[in-house]
Structure 1
Amino acid sequence: MKECTKVERLTCIVDEDRTHNGEPLYRAIVNAAQENGIGGATVTRGIMGFGAGKRIHRDRPLGRNSDLPIVIRIVDEKDKLDVFSKDLCEMVEQGIILREPVHMCLVRCGGETIKE
């Protein structure tokens, strides 16, 4: 079964070493999204990148803190992301936040959708 709908994707890019209230910022963002009933979130770790400051971000040897780019992708209805974006903007002191409309198709192959 395939269900398709128009939603929005919120993409947030932050440095790996950023924190919020003592925990990694990316973890705080995902936890806040879940607490706000957002449909889904995924975090990926970049291997290299640069931003507005034109400084290359890459893995640092010898156990020093890493400032690799972390990409958090969140998908839900526009209205829910409008509300969540206010909290997100307070959490992210430095980074990039993008929003864009997307066409999402949820594919279920046999059986029911598993709910956690």
Structure 2
Amino acid sequence: MIAGAPATRLMVFLTEDDRLAHHSTAEVLLKRAHEAGLAGTTIWRGIEGFGASGHVRAARLPDLARGLPLVVEVIDTEEAVTGFLPVVRELADGALVTIETVHISRSPATSR
């Protein structure tokens, strides 16, 4: 990715409880994004939050620490992110998904 160029950010909002068989949905999405050759993917762990259920999850409260929020963030070209959407729909159907245009202000050196 080139500094100053537009890019697209895809964010998939999950919880630690979201699983595919015995695997974390977030980790499966990261693996599939890597296999698809996307520019970058990060899993962010939230310390507190709530979603559609209205249940607050908080790391600071042991009884509420289960199911903490996770966000899978993917950044790449619009075409690459759009091409990855069917995978997201397949693996995280029902998750909140956002897409937005971002601008790369600094591009790190890559080994690819």
What interval of TM-score do these two structures reach, taking the shorter chain for normalisation? 0.7 to 0.9
Structure (1 or 2) with the greater strand fraction: 1
Match of 1:61 in 2: 62
1:65: Cα distance to partner? 7.6
> Does residue 115 in structure 1 map to residue 111 in structure 2?
yes
Match of 2:87 in 1: 87
1:22: Cα distance to partner? 2.0
Distance verdict in 2 for CA 1:94–1:65, change over 3 Å: farther
CA–CA distance in structure 2, aligned partners of residues 73 and 43 of structure 1: 6
- Percent identity of equivalent pairs: 24
The aligned length equals 110
Structure 1 segments unaligned to the other structure (5+ residues): none
Match of 1:71 in 2: 71
1:95: Cα distance to partner? 2.1
CA–CA distance in structure 2, aligned partners of residues 48 and 34 of structure 1: 28
Structure 2 segments unaligned to the other structure (5+ residues): none
Match of 1:16 in 2: 16
CA–CA distance in structure 2, aligned partners of residues 56 and 12 of structure 1: 18
CA–CA distance in structure 1, aligned partners of residues 106 and 30 of structure 2: 21
CA–CA distance in structure 2, aligned partners of residues 24 and 88 of structure 1: 14
* Cα-Cα RMSD: 2.2
Which amino acid in the other structure matches residue 39 of structure 2?
G
Match of 2:36 in 1: 36
